[in-house]
C-alpha cells in the first residue's frame, strides 16, 4: 500500500496498474478471503497480508484489459473455473477454483471473510 491508502484504494490502484481497468471502489466486493503469505521474489523475501475481493467486469471491459507490467512477463489469461480446477500451473491461493465457486454461488449474500491461513510459499511451492 502507498502512503494514505486504505485497502480498498490500494485494490483499485492495483487493478488499474495491472490491467488498465479503471473501476470505482463500489465495484469491488467486501473482503471474501484473507491470508498471510511469506514468499521470495528475485532474492527479496516478503511477508504480506492479503485481502481478496471480487470485481465483476463486462465483456467489453475484459477485452480492454492491457497487461503490460513486469509482473505479467509470463502472459495473461482469463481463466474459467474448470481451468483453475484442473491446471498444473501454480495458482494462488491454493484451491482457488473451489473457493471461488463457493463465493460465486453465494451471489449478493457473501459470507463473512474466510482466513485461508498463514502460508510460506517458499516452503510449499505447489
Contact of 122 with 40, CB cutoff 8 Å: yes
Question: What is the structure's pLDDT at 69?
Answer: 65
Report the C-alpha gap between 115 and 51 in whole angstroms.
9
The highest-confidence range among 1-10, 20-29, 60-69, by mean pLDDT, is: 20-29
Return d(Cα 117, Cα 114) in angstroms, integer: 9
Average pLDDT over residues 27-42: 92
pLDDT, mean of residues 26-51: 93
Note the pTM of the prediction, 2 decimals. Answer: 0.81
- Grid cell, residue 87, equals 491446471
Alpha-carbon span 2 to 71, nearest angstrom? 18
List strands edge to edge, sheet with 44-52.
44-52, 33-41, 114-120
Element (H, E) at 12: helix 7-19
Distance (Å, rounded) from C-alpha 59 to C-alpha 78?
11
Please name the residue that has the C-alpha cell 512477463: 73
Quote the CA–CA distance of 112 and 32 in Å, as a whole number: 7
Q: Is the pLDDT of residue 6 over 70?
A: yes
Q: Residue 53 to residues 29, 89, 114, 123: CA-CA distances in angstroms?
A: 5, 22, 11, 26
Amino acid at each position: 500500500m502507498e502512503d494514505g491508502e486504505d485497502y480498498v484504494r490500494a485494490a483499485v490502484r492495483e487493478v488499474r496498474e495491472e490491467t488498465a481497468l479503471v473501476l470505482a471502489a463500489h465495484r469491488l466486493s467486501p473482503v471474501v478471503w484473507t491470508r498471510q503469505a511469506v514468499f521470495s521474489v528475485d532474492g527479496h523475501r516478503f511477508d504480506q497480508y492479503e485481502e481478496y475481493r471480487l470485481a465483476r467486469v463486462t465483456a467489453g471491459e475484459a477485452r480492454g484489459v492491457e497487461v503490460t507490467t513486469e509482473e505479467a512477463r509470463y502472459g495473461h489469461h482469463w481463466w474459467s473455473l474448470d481451468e483453475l480446477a484442473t491446471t498444473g500451473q501454480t495458482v494462488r491461493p491454493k484451491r482457488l477454483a473451489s473457493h471461488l465457486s463457493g463465493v460465486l454461488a453465494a451471489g449478493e449474500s457473501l459470507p463473512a471473510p474466510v482466513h485461508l491461513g498463514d502460508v510460506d510459499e517458499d516452503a510449499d511451492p505447489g
